[in-house]
Amino acid sequence: MLVKKKSFTNGSPDYILIGVIISLLVIGVVMVYSSSFVWAEYKFNDAWFYVKRQLLFAGAGVGAMIFTMNLPYTTWKKYAKLILLLCFGLLFLVLIPGIGIVRGGAQSWIGIGAFSIQPSEFMKLGLIIFLAAYLSSYQKYITSFKKGFLPSILLIFSAFGLIMLQPDLGTGMVLVLTCMVMVFTAGARMSHFLGLGIIGIVGFIGLVLSAPYRISRITAFLNPWEDPLGDGFQIIQSLYAIGPGGLMGLGLGKSLQKYFYLPEPQTDFIFAILGEELGFIGGSAVIILFLLLLWRGIKVSLEAPDSFSRFLALGIVSMLAIQAMINISVVIGLIPVTGITLPFLSYGGSSLTLILCSVGILLNISKYTKI
């Protein structure tokens, strides 16, 4: 009896995944304008200031997505070491006085004039690519603490350490959690994770105690009304935005919190304005789109043709899901403020461009799934 073998082909990308990506991107552009036009008119005398820049970022990102979607994913494995070295080089550069740009208390950007990039965003993708290559080659050693697990962890926390020197705890958390998902699915022992978890808890407490503003964020999370005009201000205003939204919302463009109550609502807290204007239904629709993205991404990973593409797809979709989960949890008051963007929706050049570049790689892998 003849058995038909499963085969792989360079076919069409996952069109459902493309639809989800485009839907989130369109919603993002609309919400960047709706959440920012009041502040943009006041600060720049141009209500379209932020949305024009976001459209420029989106255009560059879509171009990068199309390029990476048509670039064979095997290319990334070939240059994984070089990409990682470049990312580490950028992280070192951003820490040099006069080169790194300080914004919001963090020295996280490199740039000239209006153009700037955030190296930590590049590191997230660069480390995912390298770790996928490493795990695909050394997966058989991952159960060994010295030969497989320890080298992975040292690499991950070296990148985390440099990001924390900026400091940028939010991005560092996303990077570590994403890489932990990859290492865990590669088959690492639970006993190794248990030991790492204990060390991680102690280290996290040390990081919190070493910076007074982190302690303030935690106390503000536990009781934001204790300091309503200080550390608790942002989360209170975020809840004031989501609460009145109700089921249907106040209507697109009709938010009250963007009138100088919620600081820079087009960035980390854009989901709060979306909830206020589009209500529970609008917020749920966005969450459903992220769940669809997670489902299709995991499906691509499971059906990918080799171990490198499986780990790479898993890393990309894990990064997006973890970042979205943390951002939305912050906005609705479930966890302390961390300062990370909502993928596809929040205003920002480096973040949006790198996210679209990442999903382009995911779409390329989807071309090679089983038929």
Banded model confidence at residue 342, pLDDT cuts 50, 70, 90: very high
Whole-model pTM?
Answer: 0.91
Task: For residues 95 and 254, give the distance between their C-alpha atoms in angstroms, rounded to a whole number.
Answer: 41
**pLDDT of amino acid 55:** 94
Based on its alpha-carbon atoms, the radius of gyration of the chain, rounded to whole angstroms, reads 21
- The pLDDT tens digits of the residues spanning 67-76 come to 999 999 999 9
Q: Is 153 exposed, middle or buried (0-12, 13-18, 19+ CB in 10 A)?
A: buried
**pLDDT at residue 292, as a whole number:** 97
**Phi and psi at residue 182, in whole multiples of 5°?**
-65, -45
Contact 337, 221 (CB under 8 A): yes
The whole-number pLDDT of residue 17 equals 96
Cα–Cα distances in Å, from 280 out to 62, 222, 242, 244, 287?
29, 24, 8, 10, 10
Alpha-carbon distances of 303 from 7, 300, 367, rounded to whole Å: 11, 5, 10
What is d(CA 147, CA 138) in angstroms, rounded to the nearest whole number?
9
Look up residue 9 and give its DSSP letter. -
pLDDT at residue 149, as a whole number: 85
Q: Which residues pair with 115 in a beta bridge?
A: 112
285-316 pLDDT, tens digit each = 999 999 999 999 999 999 999 999 999 999 99
CA distances from 40 to 46, 49, 223, 257 (A): 6, 6, 31, 15
* pLDDT band, residue 371 (cuts 50/70/90): very low
Q: Give the model's confidence band at 112: pLDDT under 50 very low, under 70 low, under 90 confident, else very high.
A: low
In this model, does residue 140 exceed pLDDT 80? yes
Mean local confidence (pLDDT), 28-39: 93
Share of the chain above pLDDT 90, in %: 53
Tell me if residue 161 falls in helix, strand or coil: helix
Alpha helices in the chain (DSSP H): 15-44, 49-69, 74-78, 80-94, 119-138, 150-164, 169-185, 190-210, 212-222, 233-245, 270-302, 307-331, 349-366
In this predicted structure, what is the pLDDT of residue 128?
97
Q: In this model, does residue 214 exceed pLDDT 70?
A: no
